[in-house]
């Protein structure tokens, strides 16, 4: 959420940012409501001050008639105050609804665009030649991950659908072993990076979703319980809620969390997309980098590059070709100032597909969640950032496809061999 003072003083900048994100918001209506809110609040404050002064006057008055006159006048003030407070609550309801719809202002480096097709490539990496490397080539027609996982009895989609419904799946044998290997791999790689490891709730109250910006805009993509909680699609939501309404110390910043949780997404807007295999599913597991830092743009930029590099190094160790794109305005969320997507090569589709997202928000989330820090006697809202460390089982799709051989066997990336206890996957083995 943006500061209303910033919105009022920088209306043109906020409007331009909303236009860049392709988000419609009536800022004139918001400012008009804010004028009414401030006017009513001033009147209410004046009447409360008048009541306080009257209480002192009544106590000091010697003449009973004088006391009665003051009391009668205060009865009128009390009734007027009641009506004004009711009006203020009605205005505040509408004001708050509009306030949580105002998008954050994107960075100047964010390109214009109408969809993810307009995202701009920043860099490309491949195992054969490093940065700037060419996309991998096969001297045979590569199979899809769907075929490969079935061929090696690593997954069962039919029984997954029978048990869990559409997009349900079972991972088994080397499919399950590889997910466990990946989890140990990513845990080990973050053990010495200064991140606090956490297992966080998946079942989260609404406040944390509003605070992180997932509600009210993305409600259709969330599973909701009969008790009013929601199932999170990322560990970011609970991790940000962890410090809600707390005051931190500047000396403790940045705070870095390496958070794990099961995740759930309805994929409501993805009907007909990736209906086979395990690339787009309703239930998965995610390790997330979440960072809170000082309220400095330069610090957010520095840490944004750092957490992006952390994710890239994981892909490099897994020997997976990828590229990094900067997301265009229309492909940014409500609160994101800037976002990178890391997309890993899918040989069967001959294109890159997203495996990681890396974003920073300035104080958009922390203002909603009321997370502040002391800076030489002044309370400031911290800045927040997040980035996927690893999401499974999606990453299996790129691992098996990029490491397949002409005979159908799969080479296990060297970084996972100690965890798997072997260096390849073959049928009947």
**Could you list the active site residues?**
265, 280, 354, 357, 394
Query: Which residues, including other chains, have CB under 8 Å from residue 271's CB and lie 6 or more apart?
Result: none
Question: By the 8 A CB rule, do 107 and 84 touch?
Answer: no
What is the rounded distance in angstroms from the CA atom of residue 389 to the CA atom of residue 373? 26
Estimate the crossing angle of helix 174-189 against helix 297-317, to 10 degrees: 140
- Which of 308, 323, 309, 318 has the alpha carbon at shortest distance from 401? 318
Distance of CA 349 to the CA centre of its chain: 27
Contacts of 205-209 with C-beta under 8 Å, sequence gap 24+, read 205/229, 205/230, 205/241, 206/230, 207/241, 207/244, 207/369, 208/237, 208/238, 208/240, 208/241, 208/244, 208/369, 209/237
HEC letters along 92-154: HHHHHHHHCCCCCCCCCCCCCCCCHHHCEEEEEEECCCEECCCCCCCCCCCCCHHHHHHHCCC
- Retrieve residue 103's tokens: 């998008």
Which of 57, 31, 58, 4 is closest to 367 using CA atoms?
A: 4
| Beta carbons of 204 and 237 less than 8 angstroms apart | yes
| CB atoms inside a 10 Å sphere around CB 276 | 12
The answer to whether 360 and 354 have CB atoms below 8 angstroms apart is no
Closest CA to 100 of 367, 383, 360, 372: 367
CA distance 183 to 416: 10
Distance, in Å, from the CA atom of 416 to the CA atom of 87, rounded to the nearest integer, reads 63
């Amino acid at each position: 959420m943006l500061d209303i003072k910033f919105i009022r003083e920088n209306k043109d900048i906020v409007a331009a940012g909303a236009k860049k994100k392709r988000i419609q918001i009536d800022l004139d209506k918001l400012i008009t409501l804010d004028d009414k809110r401030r006017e009513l609040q001033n009147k209410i404050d004046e009447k409360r001050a008048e009541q306080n002064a009257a209480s002192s006057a009544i106590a000091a008055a010697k003449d009973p008639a004088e006391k009665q006159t003051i009391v009668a006048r205060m009865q009128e003030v009390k009734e007027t105050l009641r009506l004004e407070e009711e009006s203020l609550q009605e205005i505040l309801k509408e004001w708050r609804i509009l306030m949580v719809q105002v998008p954050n202002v994107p960075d100047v480096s964010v390109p214009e665009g109408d969809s993810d097709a307009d995202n701009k490539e920043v860099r490309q990496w491949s195992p054969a030649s490093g940065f700037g490397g060419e996309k991998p080539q096969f001297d045979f027609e590569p199979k899809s991950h769907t075929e490969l996982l079935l061929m090696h009895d690593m997954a069962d989609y039919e029984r997954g659908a029978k048990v869990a419904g559409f997009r349900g799946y079972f991972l088994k044998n080397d499919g399950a072993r590889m997910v466990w290997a990946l989890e140990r791999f990513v845990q080990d790689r973050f053990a010495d990076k200064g991140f606090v490891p956490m297992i966080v709730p998946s079942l989260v109250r609404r406040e944390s979703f509003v605070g992180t910006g997932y509600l009210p805009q993305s409600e259709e993509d969330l599973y909701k319980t009969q008790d009013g909680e929601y199932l999170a699609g990322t560990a970011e939501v609970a991790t940000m809620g962890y410090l809600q309404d707390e005051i931190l110390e500047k000396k403790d910043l940045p705070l870095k969390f390496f958070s794990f949780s099961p995740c759930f997404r309805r994929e409501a807007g993805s009907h007909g997309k990736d209906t086979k295999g395990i690339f787009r599913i309703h239930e998965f597991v995610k390790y997330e980098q979440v960072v809170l830092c000082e309220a400095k743009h330069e610090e957010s930029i520095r840490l944004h590059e750092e957490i992006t590099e952390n994710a890239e190094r994981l892909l490099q160790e897994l020997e997976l070709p990828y590229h990094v794109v900067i997301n265009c305005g229309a492909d940014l969320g409500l609160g994101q100032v800037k976002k990178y997507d890391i997309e890993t090569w899918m040989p069967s589709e001959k294109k890159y597909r997203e495996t990681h997202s890396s974003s920073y928000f300035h104080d958009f989330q922390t203002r909603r969640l009321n997370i502040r820090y002391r800076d030489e006697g002044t309370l400031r809202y911290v800045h927040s950032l997040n980035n996927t460390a690893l999401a499974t089982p999606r990453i299996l799709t790129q691992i098996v496809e990029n490491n397949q051989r002409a005979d159908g066997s799969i080479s296990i990336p060297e970084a996972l061999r100690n965890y798997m206890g072997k260096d390849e996957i073959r049928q009947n083995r």
